[in-house]
């Protein structure tokens, strides 16, 4: 709780000071330090300020200042202290290990450039299993984890990778606001040891913020392999920030990093001191003038470093301007800023931003000149050799297309073997339950609803894992960044940014994280277009539908059909982007700037972590939205119940004519009656009526009401389409019968529920029609406007209908 929440006469113990700069220093000097008891005396007549008693003297604080001091009530503090004493003496309940005093909790923020290894460090420290990719933008939001170490509890947050603390991209803005609002106890600035000059620019901005910090010199093995030597201890003393070398991929020296974090938190590290990153005289004069005005407003300066805000305002940062707009002296601050800008640009003959950046890089070069010997080999021979092939004019595109074709072939062909094993297991479980469980609605729910729905989807888990294996491999090796590089010109012709290609490729896995990853695109217009065309990229959720229909109708050309569907999605995405750029979002305001990291050999552990993470997401989805959707679909198709006596004779004849002859010979009379009753009940159920109501819309493609219902069910998740087909087309819940039932012609009509033309048309419709609820939610969240989600649903479905109709009519000709 906060000090401001204490009631008159109530006592508490100080656990943390959340304020900043002069305020933090002042209140600590007055005795507000961790472990100090403080009592609330009374409020002023207007309820502000508040009088407290501390160390036998009285002190008053404004309520806003008291809000920046964390406390624990005296009673809770004493109870926790007793538990700690019991724990330390060994006389304790094991459950007490979960309890830590508030002053033993350290909140840590991991900050660094994209591709610096933050997430690898986060995984090692917190035990989390976040995927690590070798390109910018893998971490698109903050991830939180915890660790208990030497009596402390570490709350670790992995923030998005950012090159600076400026409000020009969603990542930078997110990190800025997090540091302003959350006030972590210690910042761990992760830098790449072999690329210090570039990475330390962000460090200089963190130094300007004047926060408790430790520098993690990550990937130290790459520096050791080069011809350079770094005196990192001396570098830490020069920067006023302790530096610890680590190898986050293996965990080497991470314990030393944790020990240093504790020392910094406890204020006993000798390297810690506040320095100023000195700039040229004209710039320093401008910064000082603005800083002095900011310091006069306590409502601002106690939350933020005045020097940091002054520099950011001088650079014209919109977030800094928004913060300072609340200050009473804002007009004077703006005047000082304008005066400083005019003076700097006149004296230095360059704009303010480039002058500040040049001075900061000059400071970094000076620090490295004193602490580093030799040069780091930036261009590794292996990277140079591979790039000469995979990014060349001759081989670049063929290699990329070959990789894509291999990915789709492996997903379909190799994945078919474990898919059959899982299918047999699901069928076995269904048979066991059917044999031993008493008849009734609950049995039908278990077999037809849950096992029939979820079991019909889980069989495709191997296909999805193989797809994510290829995507993870491209990310981890660094090839994904090269894909964006070779595709930039083509993307630019589409009216998109080169970085747009990365979210589009990620869309092959799942459109939701792909849409979230568009945050790496600085251009707002390119980002919006990329978000809206991403659902056209065929995600892994559609794989079960393709596998089912391709296996039935195109078994000899499965890889080619798969590739054609994915290619069609890409073509539609390209054309849509072109139309949007030409008639709607006409300008692209940002250039293509992207880091090309060195190639790295991914570890098997990292690949497995990435695959397992996606498997968990898929299994959670099956245990969540797919399970719920399957139960709802089952219930809608199960009620109202019908008996065999209600079945008209002509309907009985029609159903019997649809049953294959070899299957019919194995059916007893009771079994046949049950099958006919199920079919009649489904057609006259709630779901059947809904399907028949919507059926006229898709009648030009000759989809039946059952097919229509399956399409509608895909709104929950595309995997549900398969489970719905299984529930509706197979009277008995036997997955082995689905393919046969879809392909066997009716003896009455002479037509099967599906044929090759209808199957191809249906797959095109599924490829393009409205995104699932999760994707629509992601579109609305990332664009901050539901109208874009509505546009996506309407536009995509209209386009799907037109192209599915054309596909069907053309396919009938062949």
Q: Is the pLDDT of residue 3 over 80?
A: yes
Q: Is the pLDDT of residue 399 over 80?
A: yes
Give the model confidence (pLDDT) of 89-130 as tens digits.
554 444 444 444 555 788 899 999 887 888 788 888 876 655
Please name which of 377, 409, 421, 722 lies closest in space to residue 542, comparing C-alpha atoms: 722
- Percent of the chain predicted with pLDDT > 90: 13
Query: Looking at the whole model, is its pTM more than 0.85?
Result: no
Q: Is the pLDDT of residue 2 over 80?
A: yes
Question: What is the pLDDT, as a whole number, of residue 299?
Answer: 67
Mean pLDDT, the chain, whole residue set: 80
135 pLDDT tier (thresholds 50, 70, 90): very low
The full DSSP string for 702-722 is: T--HHHHHHHHHTTT-TTHHH
Strands 37-43, 50-54: parallel, antiparallel or unpaired by DSSP?
Answer: antiparallel
Question: What is the pLDDT, as a whole number, of residue 532?
Answer: 93
Two tokens, residue 748: 């009455």
Question: What is the pLDDT, as a whole number, of residue 626?
Answer: 64
572 pLDDT tier (thresholds 50, 70, 90): very high
Q: Is the pLDDT of residue 412 over 90?
A: no
617 pLDDT tier (thresholds 50, 70, 90): low
Report CA torsion sign: 487, 492, 494, 496.
Answer: positive
Task: In whole angstroms, give the CA distance from residue 102 to residue 72.
Answer: 7
CB 458 within 8 A of CB 622: yes
Q: Is the pLDDT of residue 578 over 50?
A: yes
Q: H/E element holding 188?
A: strand 186-192
Q: H/E element holding 341?
A: helix 330-348
Average pLDDT over residues 586-608: 67
401 pLDDT tier (thresholds 50, 70, 90): confident
Task: In whole angstroms, give the CA distance from residue 456 to residue 438.
Answer: 23
Beta bridge partners of 213: 187
CA distances from 320 to 165, 295, 334, 636, 708 (A): 10, 15, 11, 55, 53
Q: Is the pLDDT of residue 186 over 80?
A: yes
First-last CA distance in the chain: 73
From 34-43, 299-308, 796-805, the region with the lowest mean pLDDT? 299-308
Strands in 11-17's sheet, in edge-to-edge order, are 57-61, 50-54, 37-43, 11-17, 69-73
Average pLDDT over residues 463-489: 77
533 pLDDT tier (thresholds 50, 70, 90): very high
Beta bridge partners of 215: 189, 243
603's CB contacts (< 8 A; 6+ apart) are: 249
- Percent of the chain predicted with pLDDT > 70: 83
Question: What is the pLDDT, as a whole number, of residue 348?
Answer: 85
Average pLDDT over residues 334-338: 90
Please name which of 235, 334, 227 lies closest in space to residue 216, comparing C-alpha atoms: 235
Task: In whole angstroms, give the CA distance from residue 434 to residue 442.
Answer: 11
Question: What is the pLDDT, as a whole number, of residue 86?
Answer: 54
Question: What is the pLDDT, as a whole number, of residue 34?
Answer: 74
Give the model confidence (pLDDT) of 709-751 as tens digits.
888 877 767 877 887 777 667 654 454 567 777 777 665 566 7
Question: What is the pLDDT, as a whole number, of residue 120?
Answer: 82
In the three-class reduction of DSSP (H, G, I as helix; E, B as strand; rest coil), residue 243 is classed as: strand
Give the model confidence (pLDDT) of 341-394 as tens digits.
899 888 888 888 888 888 998 999 899 989 988 766 554 667 778 888 888 888
Question: What is the pLDDT, as a whole number, of residue 106?
Answer: 87
Question: What is the pLDDT, as a whole number, of residue 569?
Answer: 92
Please name which of 242, 123, 250 lies closest in space to residue 188, comparing C-alpha atoms: 242
238 pLDDT tier (thresholds 50, 70, 90): very high
Question: What is the pLDDT, as a whole number, of residue 19?
Answer: 64
Per-residue DSSP letter, 247? B
Question: What is the pLDDT, as a whole number, of residue 406?
Answer: 85
In the three-class reduction of DSSP (H, G, I as helix; E, B as strand; rest coil), residue 44 is classed as: coil
Please identify which residue in the block is written with the tokens 């009648």.
699
Q: Is the pLDDT of residue 686 over 80?
A: yes
Question: What is the pLDDT, as a whole number, of residue 268?
Answer: 86
Task: In whole angstroms, give the CA distance from residue 50 to residue 43.
Answer: 5
460 pLDDT tier (thresholds 50, 70, 90): low
Q: Which residue has the higher pLDDT, 178 or 83?
A: 178
Task: In whole angstroms, give the CA distance from residue 322 to residue 698.
Answer: 52
CB 92 within 8 A of CB 86: yes
Q: Which residue has the higher pLDDT, 421 or 20?
A: 421
Task: In whole angstroms, give the CA distance from residue 620 to residue 626.
Answer: 9
From 424-428, 566-570, 615-619, 732-736, the region with the lowest mean pLDDT? 732-736
Q: Is 319 left (phi over 0), alpha (psi -120 to 50) or beta?
A: alpha
Question: What is the pLDDT, as a whole number, of residue 206?
Answer: 92
Q: Is the pLDDT of residue 768 over 90?
A: yes
CB 340 within 8 A of CB 187: no
Task: In whole angstroms, give the CA distance from residue 569 to residue 43.
Answer: 66
Q: Is the pLDDT of residue 138 over 60?
A: no
Q: Which residue has the higher pLDDT, 632 or 605?
A: 632
């Amino acid at each position: 709780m906060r000090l401001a929440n204490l009631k008159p006469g109530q006592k508490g113990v100080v656990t943390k000071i959340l304020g900043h700069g002069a305020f933090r220093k002042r209140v600590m000097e007055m005795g507000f330090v961790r472990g100090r008891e403080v009592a609330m005396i009374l409020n002023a007549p207007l309820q502000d300020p508040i009088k407290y008693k501390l160390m036998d003297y009285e002190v008053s604080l404004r309520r806003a200042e008291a809000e920046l001091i964390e406390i624990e009530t005296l009673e809770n503090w004493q109870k926790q202290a007793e538990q700690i004493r019991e724990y330390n003496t060994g006389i304790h309940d094991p459950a007490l290990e979960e309890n830590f005093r508030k002053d033993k909790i350290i909140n840590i923020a991991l900050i660094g450039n994209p591709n610096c290894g933050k997430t690898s460090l986060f995984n090692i420290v917190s035990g989390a299993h976040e995927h690590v990719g070798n390109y910018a933008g893998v971490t698109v939001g903050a991830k939180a984890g915890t660790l208990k170490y030497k009596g402390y509890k570490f709350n670790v947050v992995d923030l998005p990778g950012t090159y600076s603390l400026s409000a020009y991209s969603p990542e930078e803005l997110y990190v800025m606001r997090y540091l302003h609002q959350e006030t972590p106890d210690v910042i761990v600035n992760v830098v790449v040891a072999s690329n210090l000059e570039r990475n330390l620019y962000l460090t200089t901005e963190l130094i300007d913020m004047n926060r408790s910090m430790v520098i993690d010199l990550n990937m130290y093995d790459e520096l050791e392999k080069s011809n350079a030597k770094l005196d990192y201890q001396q570098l830490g003393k020069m920067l006023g920030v302790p530096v610890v070398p680590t190898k986050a991929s293996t965990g080497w020296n991470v314990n030393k990093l944790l020990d240093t974090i504790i020392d910094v938190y406890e204020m006993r590290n000798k390297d810690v001191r506040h320095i100023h990153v000195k700039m040229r005289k004209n710039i320093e004069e401008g910064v000082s003038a603005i800083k002095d005005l900011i310091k006069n407003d306590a409502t601002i300066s106690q939350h933020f470093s005045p020097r940091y805000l002054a520099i950011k305002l001088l650079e014209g940062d919109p977030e800094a301007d928004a913060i300072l707009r609340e200050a009473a002296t804002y007009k004077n601050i703006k005047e000082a800023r304008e005066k400083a800008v005019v003076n700097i640009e006149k004296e230095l003959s360059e704009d303010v931003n480039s002058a500040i950046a040049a001075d900061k890089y000059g400071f970094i070069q000076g620090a490295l000149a004193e602490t580093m010997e030799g040069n780091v080999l930036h261009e590794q021979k292996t990277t140079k050799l591979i790039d000469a092939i995979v990014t060349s004019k001759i081989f670049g595109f063929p290699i990329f297309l070959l990789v894509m074709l291999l990915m789709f072939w492996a997903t379909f062909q190799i994945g078919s073997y474990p898919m059959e094993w899982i299918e047999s297991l699901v069928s076995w479980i269904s048979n066991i339950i059917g044999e031993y469980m008493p008849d009734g609605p609950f049995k039908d729910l278990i077999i037809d609803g849950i096992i029939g729905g979820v079991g019909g989807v889980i069989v495709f888990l191997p296909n999805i894992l193989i797809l994510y294996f290829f995507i993870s491999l491209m990310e981890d090796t660094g090839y994904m960044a090269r894909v964006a590089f070779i595709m930039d010109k083509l993307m630019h012709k589409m009216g998109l940014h080169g970085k747009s290609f990365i979210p589009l490729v990620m869309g092959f896995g799942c459109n939701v994280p792909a849409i979230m990853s568009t945050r790496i695109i600085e251009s707002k217009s390119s980002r919006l277009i990329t978000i809206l065309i991403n659902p056209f990229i065929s995600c892994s959720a559609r794989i079960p539908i393709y596998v089912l229909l391709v296996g039935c109708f195109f078994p000899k050309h499965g890889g080619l059909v798969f590739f054609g569907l994915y290619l069609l999605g890409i073509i539609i995405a390209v054309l849509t982007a072109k139309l949007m750029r030409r008639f709607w979002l006409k300008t692209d305001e940002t250039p293509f700037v992207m880091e090309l990291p060195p190639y790295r050999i991914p570890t098997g552990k990292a690949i497995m972590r990435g695959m397992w993470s996606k498997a968990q997401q898929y299994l959670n989805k099956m245990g969540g939205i797919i399970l719920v959707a399957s139960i709802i679909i089952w219930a809608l198709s199960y009620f109202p119940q019908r008996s065999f006596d209600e079945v008209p004779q002509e309907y009985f004849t029609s159903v019997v004519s649809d049953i294959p002859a070899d299957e019919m010979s194995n059916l007893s009379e009771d079994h046949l009656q049950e099958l006919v009753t199920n079919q009649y009940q489904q057609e006259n159920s709630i779901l059947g009526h809904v399907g028949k109501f919507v059926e006229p819309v898709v009648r030009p493609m000759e989809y039946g009401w059952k097919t229509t219902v399956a399409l509608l069910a895909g709104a929950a998740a595309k995997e549900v389409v398969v489970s719905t087909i299984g529930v509706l087309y197979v009277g008995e819940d036997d997955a082995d019968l689905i393919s046969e039932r879809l392909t066997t012609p009716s003896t009455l009509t002479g037509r099967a529920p599906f044929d090759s033309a209808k199957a191809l048309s249906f797959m095109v419709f599924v490829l393009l029609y409205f995104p699932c609820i999760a994707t629509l939610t992601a579109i609305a969240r990332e664009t901050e406007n539901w109208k874009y989600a509505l546009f996506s649903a309407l536009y995509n479905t209209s386009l799907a209908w037109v192209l599915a109709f054309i596909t069907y009519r053309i396919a009938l000709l062949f």
